[in-house]
Amino acid sequence: MTQDGGSVKAFTETPFDYLIIGGGTAGLVVAARLSERQDLNIGVLEAGYAIPDDTPAVSVPGRWGEGIGTEYDWQFETTPQKQLDGRKLPWPRGKALGGSAALNFMIWNRPSSDDLDAWERLGCKGWGWNDMLHYYKKSEKFIEPDNKAKLEHTIHYDREAHGTEGPLTVSFNKQHSVPHQYWHETLENLGVATNKTHMSGSNVGAWTSMVAVNPKTATREYSATSYYRPVKDRKNLTVLTGATVQNVVLEQSNGGDWMAKGVRFEHGGSNYVAHASREVILSAGSVKSPQILELSGIGNPSILDKANIETKVVNKNVGENLQDHLLTATIYEIDPSVPTLDDLRTDPKLDAAADEEYKTHLSGPRTLLSCSIAYIPLSTLVPEAGIPALTSHLSKSTDSVSKAIATRLEPSANGGHVEYIFDVGNWNPFTPVKPDKKYATLLQILQYPFSRGSIHAKSADPNEAPVIDPQYYENEGQIDREIQLHAAGFGQKILETEPLKSFVKGRVWPPPGVSKAEWNDWIVGNTTTDWHPVATCAMGGKEGKEGGVVDERLRVYGVKGLRVVDASVMPLQISAHLQATVYAIGEKGADLILEDARE
């Protein structure tokens, strides 16, 4: 059950076996799975609140993006980025039951097998593709499209690769915007084949994406609706919302070992402590999880000293190794007769009509999502002769993560280095738009970043946002900027190839005829986050504590009874949108916890 402020005292007096910090994507997966054991008592602390079902900005697919900047968003921002003209970037993160999956664009895909096998090569035993596929399938309830939809929308999939009995319903959209019909043929004319098994170990090529949408209700699926709601009345599961975690309660044994015993939190202006007899599980995401570890005295002494926090467990990797996907959006003019979501934002009558169609028929513009996807390997974007120019920026780092990232520049590497998404509407806030024009957007998203930054507590105050410094395009990140330049060239080819060539009138942002130097300046001025931060509490693999924050069973080095289960444990970025992988991490994390509970 979900408790309100009047039940805080009861929450603190409950003898929990496990306390979960964060009721987001992974946290609610873990809560649901652990509470299947009736002999275990599970508590969840969530800073945000449950989102009412009648919140269109979250539940209605075609209103994607409207939840960003609301009360359901932490509304973080980065430090000024040196290589982005000193710009600070907004970093939306979900602050609600269900976490960031309540705000995302609902794309449901998986990385290529080698992305996860790379984790295992780093020493993260049990985290390769063959092990993780079970957990991807375990989370899914895949609803197959009918034959008519398959034909009309170029839908392909490998039925055996999907789960059909999991909590979270996933599907293919029933309707698509106008240019989707041209996507596959255009890419094929460029030599990029349609990938008919894009969820089965290689996502390279063009495909129609799945989405986290229930086709029966045409509503967003996320962990609050799929994992939590069906089990919320379990007597051994209690969720407390509106609870801001201050730190993990650590106690030291006579032998000097640190142990997690509970959680300090604030609720309604008062401070409380809740206790856990077995474990505390940190599932607060790639931004908050490292901050909470540091607030608890776990981290780099130099960072903690500056924040006026006592160091209890030294680990210089906490908050480091931050990797994010980098996005730019080029804009093209299209025929003014083509319907776009921009129409609904400017015409109240069209907006009302779309709402009525959705309410009455569960169809129309309010159901549309961007599903025209292509993942392109580096070998297609950069001629082999151009690779030495990229590798010249590589440092002489000898740590295993740096070496693993460097292998992604090898000519034989065949992962999807850059993702392209095309749809109608203007997605770039910097575009100089004209009121009588209509636009379409080509998103270009770099998947394997060399840019690596950090997230750290600024002070001992848990209400103060952490310092987020992705260091986009800095140091080895120069490679990212150069790949983005090459990728922009390939993106231009996409829109110069039929049949999409006939659909667009021409590029308007950046303006036609820009030089290479001007393209570079445009990339610097337009790059933003794709909201996929990982690795700030990464698995250490073979290097153990020297290389990470948690071991392969997600246990925090140097502390008994404390784990991290969320996207922050990923040691390397993947070529995919994160949500399906985060659900799989939650499923595997729950299994690891339950396995250890039986010992």
Q: What are the catalytic residues?
A: 532
Q: Compute the radius of gyration of the chain from its Cα atoms.
A: 23
What contacts 221, CB < 8 A, 6 or more positions away?
106, 168, 169, 170, 212, 213, 214
Tokens of 462: 């848990």
Tokens of 151: 């034909």
Distance, in Å, from the CA atom of 549 to the CA atom of 562, rounded to the nearest integer, reads 11
What contacts 386, CB < 8 A, 6 or more positions away?
486
Query: Where do runs of H (alpha helix) occur along 325-424?
Result: 341-346, 348-361, 378-381, 387-391, 400-406
Distance, in Å, from the CA atom of 384 to the CA atom of 206, rounded to the nearest integer, reads 22
Distance, in Å, from the CA atom of 14 to the CA atom of 257, rounded to the nearest integer, reads 26
Distance, in Å, from the CA atom of 325 to the CA atom of 530, rounded to the nearest integer, reads 5
Tokens of 218: 């045409």
Residue-wise DSSP of 428-446: -TT----TT-EEEEEEEEE
Sheet strands (E) in 504-574: 504-509, 528-529, 559-560, 562-564
- Dihedral of the CA atoms 330, 64, 33, 162 (nearest 10)? -60
- Using an 8 Å Cβ cutoff, are 248 and 289 in contact? no
Helices then strands, each counted (H, E), the chain: 19, 28
Instruction: Name the 3-class secondary structure at 360.
Output: helix
Closest Cα to residue 537, out of 316, 329, 244? 316
Distance, in Å, from the CA atom of 449 to the CA atom of 479, rounded to the nearest integer, reads 8
Instruction: Name the 3-class secondary structure at 496.
Output: coil
Query: Where do runs of H (alpha helix) occur along 74-143?
Result: 113-121, 129-139
CB-based burial, 439-451: b 16+ in 10 Å, e otherwise: bbbbbbbbbbbbb
- Using an 8 Å Cβ cutoff, are 28 and 44 in contact? yes
Within 13 Å and on the Cβ side, how many CA atoms surround 337? 1
Closest Cα to residue 293, out of 407, 404, 455, 469? 455
Partners of 244 in the β-ladder: 266
Distance, in Å, from the CA atom of 546 to the CA atom of 115, rounded to the nearest integer, reads 22
The long-range contacts involving 63-66, CB below 8 angstroms and separated by at least 24 positions, are 63/366, 64/104, 64/105, 64/106, 64/369, 65/105
Sheet holding 107-108: strands in order across?
107-108, 210-211, 168-172, 140-142
For residue 529, what are the CA distances in angstroms to 407, 426, 441, 548?
Answer: 23, 17, 16, 24
- Using an 8 Å Cβ cutoff, are 96 and 223 in contact? no
